[in-house]
Chains A and B, each alone.
Chain A
Amino acid sequence: LVGRLVAVSESDVLHVASLARLAIDPVRLPSLVKELNGILEHIEELNAVETRPEMGAVRSETTGTPIRSDIDGVSVPLALAREALAPLMRDGFYLVPRLGTHEDQGERAP
């Protein structure tokens, strides 16, 4: 990597926000662009460091996360009864608020 990466634009932020399932208030957008570019500018410092592609690669047999034995385990037991986890249940199922997308399909709220 050499030189400055591309600065983030308003459309970049909106694209990334869409990927992250975030709605951005248009009023807030310019300041977000400024803040993100400010942070990324500091991060550019890393470009000056020479690295090799294999550096930082995680190897499970040495420095990575230990691999668990490949055997069936027992699920973590619930400390509370299932009925205590949700305000409403029926026939063994949790009742949750209806999504707007389903309301026009003739279904009725419980």
Chain B
Amino acid sequence: VSAVAAVEQAFRRADEVRAGKDGLNITVHEDREATRAEAAQLDQTRSNGSLFEISHPPSPIRLGGVAVAVKDNIATLGLPTTCGSRILEGYTSPFEATAIRKLREAGAIVVSKTNCDEFAMGSSTEHSAYGPTKNPLDPTRVPGGSSGGSAAAVAAGIVRIALGSETGGSVRQPASFCGVVGVKPTYGRVSRFGLVAFASSLDHIGVFGKTVDDAALGVQLIAGHDPNDSTSVDVPVPDYRAAAKESLKGLVIGWPREYFTDALDPRIRDVCDEAAERLRSMGAVVKDVTLPHTSLAIPVYYIVAPAEASSNLARFDGVRYGLRITGEGLRGMYEATRSGGFGPEVTRRILLGTYVLSAGYYDAYYRKAMAIRSLIRADFDRVFADGVRVLLTPTTPTTAFKIGAISDPYEMYLSDIYTVTANLAGIPGMSVPAGTIDNLPVGVQLLANNFDESGMFTAGYALERSLNGGNP
């Protein structure tokens, strides 16, 4: 398939599903003429015999023109990067994210920037300055968030691979809601250079794929050390697509009881039960494990993430980026710009983060949360040291909910109850579609130890094949 044909297909499909503002509201920025020109140039390069090179994989991978969609908080050249926020209205980055550079060097073409919750703060893609994105499988429902636009772009068939970002589950949760595969690699596996910071100790770039193989390819292309990101780790990147096809025989899967409490919808538990049974029938060993500090993850997250956000978002002040609203004096301009530019959820989290970091409360909140975060990490360490390769859990406590159904902030935060633990611990996780309830998709989550995405892909690929009657 030529690059030109690939981008035309993506644009055609976007038009068919009405991905724009008057429809599902998946896409927030695109420049079709520039993208077509880039695709034509790519085809020309290929016809001249030039090969695309990427520096890190075990074997060269050349996409040769694959359309990808990218969340609006990842820096791209040529298309704006606005994080779904009014405060970055009109902002175009002067550099591109390392992940985008790697995709382009492999022959991928960015066809659109996708809608998201403002600054990736949300679980429904309702908190965007561009309005809510609708779930392609049921437009009365949310696609999840915060990377809901990217998940919806894959679910709607516009692209097979899309980039999102995760701070507490913002790839895996919308993947589950939209019936696609969503991967959060290990903290440090993929460079965050060019990802607009929300909470730096929790932020990751993640990948959506139509299939496990697509997602594995996407991660393969963007993984690897980057000197521009000091948190990027210099360890070899395995061949994930090959690892995905390895045998499940003897692979130990942990079933953490704390993820299967009475509060979980029994129908979602049934989907997880069936997934475990399928994996067992293919040779995996499933055993009960315990992660005793799991229930503390949401309170810990809602101290650490807002605290870091309040610091990171201090840079948006009307001087350096995007929007400026005149006020009385310099301080008045700061306040007018920030209050006019940030939406309610971002404002709430900045206030919460500033409060927990303020004098007199730092020890009581932030230091306490960081201490408990180390206990959550230790829970995982113990389980993996005990021979467990992959953990199987639900991805979300519910299926996609109706747009506007959740107004209480904490109730919305609970949507990430099964996913935030991996961000706090830094371990990799993925959501794989595993069933439906009332025609809405349900994902199961697979978690693995640091830098062992391979184990996760092995289990995910086997489950996907089993559910599809032996086909990937």
Contacts and interface: CB of A to CB of B under 8 A. Distances in A.
Contact-residue size bin, chain A (C-beta under 8 Å from the other chain) = 35 or more
Contacts of B95: 76, 78-79
B351 A22 contact: yes
Interface in B250-307: 293, 295-296, 298-300, 302-303
B75 to A, nearest CB: 10
B94 A46 contact: no
Given A23-B335, A38-B409, A66 B230 contact: yes
Interface residues of B, number: 60
Contacts of A55: 370-371, 374-375
A67 to B, nearest CB: 8
Interface stretch (B54-62, B144-152, B359-367, B384-392): B359-367
A39 B372 contact: no
A46 B368 contact: yes
B302 A43 contact: yes
Interface string A72-85: 01001011100011
Interface in A1-50: 1, 5, 8, 12-13, 16-17, 19-25, 32, 35-36, 38-40, 42-43, 45-47, 49
A62 B77 CA distance: 36
Given A49-B296, A56-B370, A22 B335 contact: yes
Contact of B230 (A20, A32, A45, A65): A65
Contacts of A65: 230-231
A56 B375 CA distance: 8
B364 A5 contact: yes
Contact of B330 (A36, A46, A51, A101): A101
Given A32-B347, A43-B365, A78-B94, 7 more contacts: A22-B335, A36-B351, A49-B375, A55-B374, A56-B369, A66-B231, A100-B333
Interface of B: 77, 94-96, 227-228, 230-231, 233, 293, 295-296, 298-300, 302-303, 310, 314, 317, 319, 324, 326-336, 338-339, 342, 347-348, 350-352, 354-355, 358, 361, 364-365, 367-375, 408-410, 413
Interface of A: 1, 5, 8, 12-13, 16-17, 19-25, 32, 35-36, 38-40, 42-43, 45-47, 49, 51-53, 55-57, 65-68, 73, 76, 78-80, 84-85, 96-97, 99-101
8 contacts: A5-B361, A5-B364, A12-B355, A16-B354, A36-B352, A43-B302, A78-B95, A80-B94
